[in-house]
Amino acid sequence: MKKKGLLIAMAMVLVFALAACSSKSNSDGGKKNKKQELEIFSWWTGAGEEDGLKALLKLFGDKYPDIKVNNAAVAGGAGTNAKAVLASRMQGNDPPSTFQVHAGAELNASWVAAGKMEPLNDLYKEQGWDDKFPQSLIDMISKDGNIYSVPVDIHRGNVLWYNKKVFDDNGLQPPKTFDDFFKVAEALQSKGITPLALGDKEPWAATMIFENILVAKLGADDYKKLWTGEIPLDDAKVKESAEIFKKMMGYVNKDHSSRNWQDASQLVAKGEAAMNVMGDWAKGYFVNDLKLKLNQDFGYTTTPESQGMFMIISDTFGLPKGVDNVADVKKFLGLLGSVEGQDAFNPLKGSIPARVDADPSKYDDYGKATMEDFKSAQLAPSLAHGSAAPEGFLTKVNQAVNIFVTQKDVNAFISSLKNASGDLK
Ligand code: BGC
C-alpha cells in the first residue's frame, strides 16, 4: 500500500514536471513572438535621456504603424547597467533587435571582433549614405572595409557648463586655462559656493574630468597614443594630469559619490555649485527637463586648455547576428540615419547630428556652434564612454579613478593605470 502511494506521488511529480515544461515551451513560444517585435535596447530612460528617443520612436510609429516596437531601455548613465545586461544577452545568443553602442572600441573590440555583428555596407548603399557621414566617424564604426553601425548623434565630452548668474554676480569669467580654473575656484570657495559639481556615484563621471585633462595636457594625437600603448600610462604628462585632477577634486561637492550626473547638474542649475564637466546630454537635461535657458541661465565653454579639440562620443545602432526581423531593424536604422530622424532626435538630446547635411536651423546656438567646431576640431575618442579603449581596460580605469577620488594618491593611481595597460590589446 505504502509502495502504491509512493508510485502515485512520483507520478504526480512527473505530471507537474511535464506541465511545467509545457508551460515553459509556451513561454518560449511567447519569446519567439517577442522576437517579431522590434526590440530597441539603450540606456536612455528618464530625465534628460529619453526625450530624443521618444521623438524618434514616434516618427517610426507614424511611418511603420504595423511594426511593434519594444523600447527596452535599461536605466543607468553611460550604460553602467545596460552594458552588463547586453553582454550577458549577447553571450547567451539572445541579442536585442538593435542596441545602442558607442562608435570606436566599444563596437569594434567588443562586438565586431567577436563576430557578433552584421556588416551594413548594403544598407549604406541602398540609403545613399556613402558621403553623408564624416569619414572620421565612419572609420570609428568600420573594420576591414565593412561598416557595422549607424550613428544617430555626435556628443561632445569636453564641455564645462556654468551657472551664469553665479559667474556674473561674482564678476568671474569662465576659465580657459587650468590656472584660470583654480583662480575662479578659489574665489568661489571663499564665498561658500561649491566651485565644481561632481556626481560620481557612477565613476565614469570622474573619468570624464580626467580624460579632459589628459587631452588638454597631451594634445589629441598623443592622447590617442595612450590607448595604443605608444605612450606609456606613467608618462610625465599623465602624472601632471593626475596632479591637476587631484587639485580639482579639492573643489567638488562633498556628497559627490552619492549623486549621479543629473543630480550634479542640478547643483549648477540651482546655483549651489558654479560649474560641472559633462557631455552635452547635460544641455538636453538643462533645457528640456530643468527648463533653463541657454546663454541666460547657463553658459558653456570647452574644458580648460582643450580648445580646438573635440572629445567625441557617438551613439550608434547596429544589427546583431541571429536576429529574426532583419528587414524591420533595417527600417529602424534607415530612419535613425536619415536627416529627418537625426533632426528629430538631436535637438532634444543635446547632441549634434552625425550627418553632414542635417538642417542647422533646427538647432540652438550651442548646436550650431558645435557643428561648426566639429568640422575643424581635432577629434579625440572618449575613454570614459568606451570609444578609446576596450571595455576591460575602461572598467579598471574607472575603478582606479574611483579610488583616487577618495585617496588622492597620485603614485598609486599611476601604477593602477599602468597595471591596467595589459588590457589595452
Ligand atoms: C551616451 C549618451 C548619454 C550619456 C549619459 C553616454 O555614454 O553616449 O547618449 O546621454 O551616456 O547616459
Q: Could you tell me the distance, in angstroms and rounded to a whole number, from the CA of residue 49 to the centre of ligand 1?
A: 8
Run of H or E residues at 300: strand 298-302
Q: Could you tell me the distance, in angstroms and rounded to a whole number, from the CA of residue 264 to the centre of ligand 1?
A: 15
- pLDDT computed for residue 24 by the predictor: 35
Residue 44 and residue 146 in one domain: yes
* Closest alpha carbon to 397 in 370, 363, 424: 424
Residue 136 and residue 168 in one domain: no
Ligand 1 in contact with 49 (CB < 6 A)?
yes
Residue 55 and residue 136 in one domain: yes
- pLDDT computed for residue 47 by the predictor: 86
Rama region for 386: left / alpha / beta (φ>0; ψ in -120 to 50; rest): left
Please give the Cα distance from 376 to 365 (Å, whole number). Answer: 17
* 408 Cβ neighbours under 8 A, 6+ residues apart: 246, 249
Instruction: Indicate the pLDDT class of residue 14, thresholds 50, 70 and 90.
Output: very low
pTM for the structure as a whole: 0.92
Please say if the pLDDT value at position 17 is more than 80: no
Tens digits of per-residue pLDDT, 218-247? 999 999 999 999 999 999 999 999 999 999
* 235 Cβ neighbours under 8 A, 6+ residues apart: 226
Residue 256 and residue 294 in one domain: yes
* Closest alpha carbon to 261 in 161, 374, 387: 161
- pLDDT computed for residue 35 by the predictor: 63
**360 found inside a domain:** yes
- pLDDT computed for residue 127 by the predictor: 98
Please give the Cα distance from 97 to 323 (Å, whole number). Answer: 6
Residue 160 and residue 280 in one domain: yes
- pLDDT computed for residue 46 by the predictor: 85
Residue 291 and residue 354 in one domain: no
Give the residue numbers spanning the domain of 305. 156-312+390-424
Residue 403 and residue 255 in one domain: yes
- Pair type for strands 98-102 and 38-42: parallel
Tens digits of per-residue pLDDT, 310-328? 999 999 999 999 999 999 9
Ligand 1 in contact with 313 (CB < 6 A)?
yes
**355 found inside a domain:** yes
CATH, residue 166 = 3.40.190.10
- pLDDT computed for residue 26 by the predictor: 35
Q: How many domains does the chain have?
A: 2
Residue 185 and residue 305 in one domain: yes
More confident residue, 24 or 356: 356
Ligand 1 in contact with 281 (CB < 6 A)?
yes
The ligand 1 atom at the shortest distance from the C-alpha of residue 385 is 7
Instruction: Indicate the pLDDT class of residue 23, thresholds 50, 70 and 90.
Output: very low
- pLDDT computed for residue 425 by the predictor: 82
Ligand 1 in contact with 204 (CB < 6 A)?
no
Residue 162 and residue 139 in one domain: no
Ligand 1 in contact with 132 (CB < 6 A)?
no
- pLDDT computed for residue 257 by the predictor: 98
First to last CA, the chain: 69
